[in-house]
Structure 1
């Protein structure tokens, strides 16, 4: 199905015809981290890292650890540790060629979020790596961010989605991941084998390898 004939919004003027932000919203962006931002980051166990390659291929990668796993080094710098994973490094490949990234910090139960944008680079070690150890696991690398923009995002998306409302949660609306994997990427693998591979307890055991 083609959608080429749909009316397109292709200019700033056309976009702004839907409205412009109030001055307080427009001017809320800051260029450094405040103590309140530090406090927020120290309580956040989950952040989404948004990147893009020079040719526009985008990636949004979830990062999670105990609250405060992202460390603020100073008002202009923070660091995101990388744990052992699937080694795709989708977002990090983008960072190698386009250092501009965005971070979205969540605190469970909170509707507002903290957004931090800046220029990033990957580092393999540093004096702060000891502070990034979790359960004996030292990060395999880290993303060091030079902060350029900081602001809070309102709670409307979380309110509309009822994301934090337990009554709306139903993980059974989709088949378990082993079934999805067999259908989409591993059709020749026995389902019993995939169930073992994607077993939650097996995943938990490999979260923080120390060797």
Structure 2
């Protein structure tokens, strides 16, 4: 097994001998142009990658399309909507401000990747721009764009991601309550009432979206 591990750039290059396609280089720019701005405006969901003292984090972020605002060609504004308050991503940004973002658009094959740095702002006027259902975000993530480029559709096509027929019946998978119940049982802690958790979850989610 160890002899099969890749340990150098030369070994990696030997596995992928074809030169990089011109489009793979041309598509990367250091700002958000009109085309990439249109993709961000249409996206209701992205994944935020951060790094910190306790390791890496990859966090889903979602809201109505356009919830990420292109303030200017180098700046994105992201309201931090309510979550579980673990604050993994936000704590990471306090020690390492680098971010990676992957935007998805339902029905669209290409994804958009944005890399840059970020700070957290509680500026009242800025937070007020993102009021929803009478609630303000606790803070706004302000991203300075360093690189933006689309990712070709191969992964989405292989996954058949936007095909309604591919949706999984959620009853075939363990529920959140089941997962919590089984973990608490293995940890020999107080038994977790997974059934009650699942029963209350849909309304709790609806009531705490903002």
Note whether the superposition's TM-score is higher than 0.5: yes
Q: In the alignment, what sits opposite 1:52?
A: 51
How far is the alpha carbon of 1:172 from its aligned partner? 2.6
How far is the alpha carbon of 1:134 from its aligned partner? 1.9
1:192 matched to 2:195: yes
**Pairwise CA RMSD:** 1.8
SS at match of 1:200: helix
Return the alpha-carbon distance in structure 2 between the equivalents of residues 165 and 93 of structure 1. Answer: 36
Structure 2, unaligned runs of 5 or more: none
- Per-residue CA deviation, residues 50-74 of structure 1 (Å, 9 max, x unaligned), is 111257x211100011110011110
Q: In the alignment, what sits opposite 1:98?
A: 96
Query: Moved runs in structure 1, 4+ residues, more than 4 A?
Result: none
TM-score, normalized by length of structure 2? 0.89
Return the alpha-carbon distance in structure 1 between the equivalents of residues 194 and 46 of structure 2. Answer: 32
Moved more, 163-172 or 120-129: 120-129
How far is the alpha carbon of 1:15 from its aligned partner? 1.3
SS at match of 2:129: helix
Count residues with an aligned counterpart.
Answer: 203
SS at match of 1:152: strand
- Per-residue CA deviation, residues 159-179 of structure 1 (Å, 9 max, x unaligned), is 111111111111233122211
How far is the alpha carbon of 1:103 from its aligned partner? 0.8
Given that residues 180 and 192 in structure 2 are in contact (C-alpha distance below 8 angstroms), is that contact kept between their aligned partners in structure 1? no
Given that residues 51 and 101 in structure 1 are in contact (C-alpha distance below 8 angstroms), is that contact kept between their aligned partners in structure 2? yes
Given that residues 180 and 194 in structure 2 are in contact (C-alpha distance below 8 angstroms), is that contact kept between their aligned partners in structure 1? no
SS at match of 2:147: strand
Given that residues 106 and 114 in structure 1 are in contact (C-alpha distance below 8 angstroms), is that contact kept between their aligned partners in structure 2? yes
How far is the alpha carbon of 1:83 from its aligned partner? 1.3
- Equivalent residue in structure 2 for 1:62, among 37, 60, 63: 60
| 1:163–1:73 distance in 2 versus 1, CA, 3 Å | same
Given that residues 182 and 194 in structure 1 are in contact (C-alpha distance below 8 angstroms), is that contact kept between their aligned partners in structure 2? no
Q: In the alignment, what sits opposite 1:34?
A: 33
TM-score, normalized by length of structure 1? 0.89
Q: In the alignment, what sits opposite 2:206?
A: 204
| 1:175–1:86 distance in 2 versus 1, CA, 3 Å | same
